[in-house]
Amino acid sequence: MEADYVIVGAGSAGCAMAYRLAEAGRSVIVIEHGGSDAGPFIQMPGALSYPMNMPMYDWGFRTEPEPHLGGRRLATPRGKVIGGSSSINGMVFVRGHARDFDHWADTGAAGWSYADVLPYFRRMETWHGGDAGEFRGTSGPLHVSRGPRTNPLFHAFVEAGRQAGYEVTSDYNGQKQEGFGPMEATIYKGRRWSAANAYLKPALKRPNCTLTRAFARRVVIENGRATGVEVERGGAVSVIRARAEVILAASSINTPKILMLSGIGSAAHLAEHGIPVVADRPGVGANLQDHLEIYMQYASRQPITLFRYWNLLGKAWVGAQWLLTGGGIGASNQFESCAFIRSDKGVDYPDIQYHFLPIAVRYDGKAAAEGHGFQAHVGPMRSKSRGAITLASADPKQAPKIFFNYMSHPDDWSEFRKCVRLTREIFAQDAFAPFVRHEIQPGAAVESDDDIDAFIREHAESAYHPCGTARMGRRDDAMAVVDPECRVIGVEGLRVADSSIFPRITNGNLNGPSIMVGEKAADHILGRGMLSPANSEPWLSPRWAAAQR
């Protein structure tokens, strides 16, 4: 098999690149180890807790014991299916804050400022939220919508934020991220609108784009140039050749693993596993980041939460209604209100995110708490902790070692304590008086710094936003892995385009920025000019230096 471009990974960025490269007339082969995304567990938004816990769809990664979280090993789901993690995630759509991308540019990712990336966010989306204006797109492959917010709890959350003195925003993905408002999702006509539905399936209708199911072992590099990908199918090893370039889009977990198995990484680490060095890039696998969060849960005074469906009959009803009509509770991910706030004065843009959910339940759906209840997922956005992906062995079939080093920076603890106390203040507002019975967790007795820290240590969970393990930067930056055109430094004909290249984690969920990376990388790969930079100015609180809200 041979094509102009071979893309490893049919995930968020890989699907977008396949679409744009095929659209431009190039021949593309997409390699994906996972299988079909057909079936209600993936396509029904309300079933989101199922696919990320199914070995059929998830790689099943777990972290190494995390020393600052009591030695716990945390789940690290990554999609093993067409659409990648966009087929198993919570479907929440967040672009990130303008300042995130300006920071990328300031730290060596020239051409990736907010002005540079906004045109790609616009190109990729069809927004169903109202008048698009200068910030939103209206004709892209990715449909972005809002839930109906029929449950009064969604409105109570936004009103409580306003009563507490926070901003309200009509569109956190537009000019003004800061504030309380409606949450957006990659849902269209009651179905998960994954990167597979948005990009890959239309691309595969073209004769010049094909998908092959195979396990990518390593990149084949000959005389300093990537010429193909070694894959395993049905127990047989073969090579899929790339006439122009190989592009890795295999996730921030698997991309650095494949790079290292191909001889690109820290020379000392590769030597430990007997792998010949092609390019000594110590940044491969380093700079691993994520968002941690806790669930602040409250018992409800009124039986209006999703707990009414938390039984076999209720779930059957929700599923049947969705299968027959495409609507009902199952047509929403139930994350329909949210907030982005600043933790303190002197913080110039939001560093805390909220997802509000009208049921008190674990994210994996395995345990509901105390009957009717609701919860806010809350956590800091810009942790200073950094971890790493390393090889467990030179065997491609063995999962890499994943060590986030969560909560290793002292600021993480003070930021999380603020999250707890600010959240309690929000739920104490009059808007929630008809609804709050009592705090389920952490619980009213958890008040002191030590008590809150103990709760965080035991209960903090990943928000499943790993990134940064092949970061973008200047070519003379020893820790950079790719240059601002996504080219792997030190190897010809090889690029990386997925969340691995993020220099620093963005505000919010990472699916949106990952798709944007695929969109923008496609223009770099095609060698054509970038979309013209935008002149749109984001909103920053005029009080940020002096006030927290």
Q: Which sequence positions are flagged as catalytic?
A: 465
Detail the DSSP E strand segments found in 2-130: 2-8, 28-32, 61-62, 75-76, 125-127
Place of tokens 């006509």: 189
Longest dimension (CA), the chain: 70
Place of tokens 């393990």: 469
Q: What's the token pair of residue 299?
A: 């018992």
Q: What's the token pair of residue 392?
A: 């467990």
- Within 10 angstroms of residue 516's Cβ, the number of other Cβ atoms is 28
Strand 494-496 with 236-248, pairing: parallel
* C-alpha pair distances (Å), 441 with each of 415, 425, 446: 18, 14, 9
3-state secondary structure of 449: helix
C-alpha 473, offset from chain centre: 21
Q: Which of 97, 169, 89, 168 is nearest to 129 (CA)?
A: 169
Contact 481, 281 (CB under 8 A): yes
Q: What's the token pair of residue 261?
A: 């198995």
* C-alpha pair distances (Å), 57 with each of 11, 206, 249, 361, 364: 12, 26, 17, 22, 14
